[in-house]
Amino acid sequence: MQHVAIIGLGGIGRYHLSCYRKLPDIQVVAVADIRADEIKKDESLRELFVTPWKQVRWYDTCNDLLAREDVDFVDIGLPTDVHKEAAITYLNAGVPVLCEKPMALSLADCDAMIAASQQNRAALMIAQCIRFWPEYQYLKDMKTSGAAGRLLSLQMWRGGSTPGWNSSHWMMDPARSGGAILDLHIHDIDFCQYLLGLPKRVYAQGGCAKGAARGYDYVLTNLDYGDDTQVSAASHWADLPMPFIARYEARFERAFIRMDPTQSHTLAVYRSDSNDPEYPEMPGLDAYASEIAYFGACVRTKQAPERCMPLEARNSVAIIMAAKASIESSAPVPMNHYAL
């Protein structure tokens, strides 16, 4: 049995807590959150823990928890501006870290996290959950197998109502969250990197519907791979009463995949050798539980988290930085200035 501490039990921390219930080999035994006293009063939390409620240990800070707990890894769901400090606190003590995306607000912070992981030989994985999402893994598998020929074109889309639910509304401050262009757009940008590697150039357009204080909240990024592969991703935070939707369309030489949860079949595949579409069934375990199980297995077996390496998470932040520079210069930006 692996013992874990959740660091930051807000929106995503709570969802992760519910995922651990599905993982019989990993148990959450402790929590660190600056709002621990307030959070503990929420009766509905009790049923999310497998550990008996009275045995769950609560701390206000990362350092308090580190001083008293000996856990197999920590699961960080803190606001993005404190990812670096928290991750390095644990990595320097040799504790493996699963940390929420985006990795950090700056490339210097990402590099400091990677250095702490390497120097202390403590595993670090950034929770780029789309890499574990079954409908996206289907696309990755089709690309890797080559069964439908070359990938010619990919359009990704993600957006919904502006997230207003976070503790202290930190997400609305781009100095803390990076705004939608970092917080939201990184999901699809990171998946493009997972699928195709680093682009040669990035050309982005976008704007700030709610003014510069909110950062870029609509963005379209074209990723140029130096050949005829056409790849783009668009993301939106809109102050509109709309549901959150993520979808993609991918064209291969001999197949077309449409992923759209608003359709009767979320995943539809059209192949050149059949007149009928396929509607593949996806496995039951959700992406977040799969991601946590994967990192737990990496820690247990002392394997690097190759499905989601920290350098790739860092380079996804680099692509976002290049996209911002492209918006600001109205010109394509070469990736070699940003990526390692």
Ligand X SMILES: NC(=O)c1ccc[n+]([C@@H]2O[C@H](COP(=O)([O-])OP(=O)(O)OC[C@H]3O[C@@H](n4cnc5c(N)ncnc54)[C@H](O)[C@@H]3O)[C@@H](O)[C@H]2O)c1
Are the C-beta atoms of residues 306 and 147 closer than 8 Å to each other? no
Residue 303 per-residue DSSP state? -
Cβ atoms of residues 310 and 99 within 8 Å: no
Residue 321: count of CB within 10 angstroms of its CB: 21
Alpha-carbon span 30 to 9, nearest angstrom: 11
Stretch that binds ligand X, among 75-83, 113-121, 231-239, 249-257 (CB under 6 A): 75-83
| Of 10 and 269, CB closest to ligand X | 10
* Residue 181 binding ligand X, by CB under 6 A: no
- The residue sitting closest to ligand X, measured at its beta carbon, is 10
Sign, Cα dihedral of 335, 202, 247, 211: positive
Binding of ligand X at residue 127 (CB under 6 A)? yes
- Determine the size of the site formed for ligand X (CB under 6 A): 23
Residue 34 found at the interface with ligand X (CB under 6 A): yes
- Give the range of 5-13, 64-72, 105-113, 151-159 binding ligand X by CB under 6 A: 5-13
Closest CA to 97 of 118, 183, 29, 79: 118
Figure out which of the listed residues 4, 6, 12, 259 binds ligand X, where binding follows CB under 6 A.
12
For residue 119 the two structure tokens come to: 């120097």
Query: Which residue of 9, 88, 318, 319 would you call a contact of ligand X, by CB under 6 A?
Result: 9
Cα separation, 98 vs 87, whole angstroms: 8
Selected binder of ligand X within 23, 29, 33, 96 (CB under 6 A): 33
Instruction: Name which of 264, 234, 236 is nearest 249 in CA terms.
Output: 234
32 binds ligand X (CB under 6 A): yes
Residue 10 touching ligand X (CB under 6 A): yes
Cβ atoms of 317 and 107 within 8 Å: the answer is yes
> How far is 168 from 171, CA to CA, in rounded Å?
8
List 29, 49, 80, 231, residue binding ligand X (CB under 6 A): 80
Contact between 87 and ligand X by CB under 6 A: the answer reads no
Candidates 79-87, 149-157, 188-196, 228-236: pick the segment binding ligand X (CB under 6 A): 79-87
Query: Could you say which residues in the range 236-295 bind ligand X, by CB under 6 A?
Result: none
> Does position 109 bind ligand X by CB under 6 A?
no
Residues that bind ligand X (CB under 6 A): 8-13, 32-35, 61, 77-80, 82, 100-101, 127, 129, 166-167, 183
